[in-house]
Chains A and B, each alone.
Chain A
Amino acid sequence: MHTSARGWTKRIWIYAVAFCLATGVLLSTDRDTVAGAVSGRIKVVATTSMIADAASAIGGERVEVTALMGPGIDPHTYRQTRSDIVALVKADVVFWNGLYLEAQLEEFLVDLGKRKRVFAVGEAVPPDQLISHKTYAGRFDPHVWMDPDRWRHVVNSVRDRLIAVSPDDEALFQANADAYLKRIAEIGVYARQALASVREGQRVLLTAHDAFNYFGKSYGYEVIGIQGISTESEAGLSRIRAIVEDIVARKISAVFVETSVADRNVRAVIEGAAARGHKVSIGGELFSDAMGKPGTYEGTYVGMIDHNVTTITRALGGSAPERGMAGLLTVSG
């Protein structure tokens, strides 16, 4: 059979392409999912930094934790990037909050959960301790980290899942978890004390969005969020007006902005109140859906709660040390 030169070139191209495709397919196969045990450090991917903090604390040297959402990032609107997907696929275990916090990732994570170890640890909180969503029946408020007592359940869940991944490390994980839970208990006590020092009539927490319901329920505070539970909904003018009237009528003196949400609505409320002759100031910036910068005290769960509690207490006229529970808070100049 006589094959021309052109025919040969074509064949070589086809073989080359086929070869590349085959190699690509082989190389991209994730070998780790096949076997059960994990060698080396456990790759943990967490969505929120709060969960990542728990995973790091419990796992210690045995884990390599990546948080998808850093400081100032809004989990309600966060969309996964290509590198996120790569990390998630390569992970040994994935922790996310669930309860529809990561609204844009939900579908992807549920799907991923069919093939890999993916756990919505926020749902470890017992249902009777969850607050129902005001607007959507059957849904819950996802901001469970705001109450250290409820967050305990989540930490336990992370611990249990890590043990399931690497049973050999059970003792280590248990010990780390105990230490971590102890510190959470401490901050819980501190919070209760400090927040109780605020006068009854002043216990109103007005923030950019409705992230503090668990906080409010646990410590007896009234919580008003300008935007709803999710930042996806726009706050209408009538809502702003209603809040302004509320503030003026009840003489609320301090409102709070959040690091992961725009502060424009809060400032609009302040201007609205000022136009009615009532002065409101910004009591401080709270960590609502994200923690502080990694590497700082506020970049840890305990530090986040510490900062929030201290800021709120001091702004509303209660007494709390300026530098928080253990004198570790950075004070803004």
Chain B
Amino acid sequence: MRNALQGSIGIVARNGETALAADLSNLPLLIDGLTVSYGEKPAIFSIDASFAAGRMIAIVGPNGAGKSTLIKAALGIVPRLSGTVRVFGQPIEQVRGRMAYVPQRASVDWDFPARVVDVVMMGLYRTLGFLRFAGTKERSTALACLDRVGMADFAERQIGQLSGGQQQRVFLARALAQDADLYLLDEPLAGVDAATERTIMDVLKSLKTEGRTVICVHHDLSTVERYFDDVLLINVRKIAEGPVASTFTDRNLQKTYGGRLAGAHIEQLRLPVE
């Protein structure tokens, strides 16, 4: 049984186990006792989780588990019922410049009058403030980000004319333009074509190489082990967190998904994928 802490700096296991973390106060994301509810039902309940720098972390769980809610609470865009969120040791409002969000594609009306390059430049608005106009510098930054996701040719295209995968790439390019240290993505690979999936994962890996932290709500259990270093399993409550190898186990998956995953199916997930 591999030590849950082996090979990962800064992962803190609660429930009485000793903390072996490096400097806690500088974790990209530290969540303590987080509860969020819409109306009377809690969407997530008392979640403790910590995310280390330079890692790719997947958030996994069944439908309605609160994965999107967790991300949004981490970004401070849904109100917390209780608990704290610390980003790089500080409250969210003070470090927004170091966070980037890639929402689900469905959250936006794609008939909005905007070109691809306009959407990417939105990632730069924060730097422009009230008075400055977006100029050539911003435009070339946007084009560079588009190039990273393979969409440079589409800069002038209206966003409503894009395919699902292309839309996802544009969102990612916008996040790249923000030049953040912590990236939170909500199901970035849902409903995209194979080429787009490869491109997105390449970009995310390059972010990790640069020392940034990438957290994804991930929908596809069969690719968790291939793409991610750590995983957080939740179903309203936290089930488990830690490196994929030791945390993404049969038992944990059974606990997360209840009876929804047949035993054989889980076996399939655990087989090494080429």
A contacts B: CB pair < 8 Å: no
- B-contacting residues of A (Cβ < 8 Å)? none
- A-contacting residues of B (Cβ < 8 Å)? none
